[in-house]
Amino acid sequence: MAQLNFGGTLENVVTRDEFPLDKAREILKDETIAIIGYGVQGPGQALNLRDNGFNVIIGQRPNSLTWDKAVADGFVPGVSLFPIEEAAAKGTIIQYLLSDAAQIAVWPQLKPHLTAGKALYFSHGFGITYKERTGIIPPADIDVILAAPKGSGTSLRRLFLAGKGLNSSYAIFQDATGRAKDRVVALGIGIGSGYLFETDFKKEVFSDLTGERGTLMGAIQGIFEAQYNVLRKNGHSPSEAFNETVEELTESLMPLVAENGMDWMYGNCSTTAQRGALDWKNKFRDAVSPVFEDLYKSVASGEEAQRSIDTNSQPDYREKLEVELKELRDSEMWQAGRVVRSLRPKI
């Protein structure tokens, strides 16, 4: 394990150089990794592990779209694809990658198969951190571990195929076997992490829920809407408003930030852009800081978790969600986005 200095703060990280893929394979050579769920994270992690030479099986509900997707991805019913309980019985490491709501619903069926010495793996700390609310309380004689890619399963897979990696956090909630750390780090390397940084289940879920509601999704959409609407109200066309709000950010500037940092991006923009960005950033920071304080308090209190549990478990949740997504999809801004994307040059 290496220690990296982040502006005076030391963090424990694991890199591929110090923990190569061959070492991960050796540690997990006798393990059967049962991935429960083939929705958001399941496909990316399963395919990367399989391609890296690990023994992977899938547990999924038969006659479902995700079962069919697993078949299309090369998993064979009765060989490497099984109903959830059968896969859990066969696995020595259970990667519990269902949605938070589905984890709660399936837990009574999964728990009997968590026998002594197995490992229960998460990619989100929700179920364990809020265990009094979710009812997900693991047996004391198994390892409980987490490796959380900092991005979607789709991104994890795309970066893997491009020969790159998506950074992940890792955590140990329970080490019953004395092998929990080796297991979780090997799995983190196996799923294609760029590097792994240490955290705990509570910090992972607090940062994750804050990020999703904040700069990763909620805040950025709110900022997009605010700027787009101001431009449109002042006579700018949908194309101009969308390009200045979204397209230039995602296609031009954010890739530069990802490569070299915000300071480099500032330094390589026009002097007019530099001056304006530096002059206005503090005003935006000060305006939104109280919102982020409220958001974090809501996450830490469990209010956000309870809201998710209550709404996501409703039988008509998917129908209500589709109504909200349709409203977003049909908004003028994202209709403009579809047109703009269609006009991007084809390579």
Residue 6 amino acid letter: F
Cα–Cα distance for residue pair 140/20, rounded to 1 Å:
31
Work out the burial of residue 192: count CB atoms within 10 Å of its CB; fewer than 13 is exposed, 13-18 middle, 19 or more buried. buried
Torsion of CA 81, 83, 85, 87, to 10 degrees: 0
Torsion of CA 12, 14, 19, 21, to 10 degrees: 160
Closest CA relative to residue 97, chosen from 131, 57, 137: 57
Whether the CB-CB separation of 117 and 144 falls below 8 Å is answered with no
**Residue 224 CB partners (closer than 8 Å, separation 6+):** 245, 246, 333
Residues with active-site annotation: 124
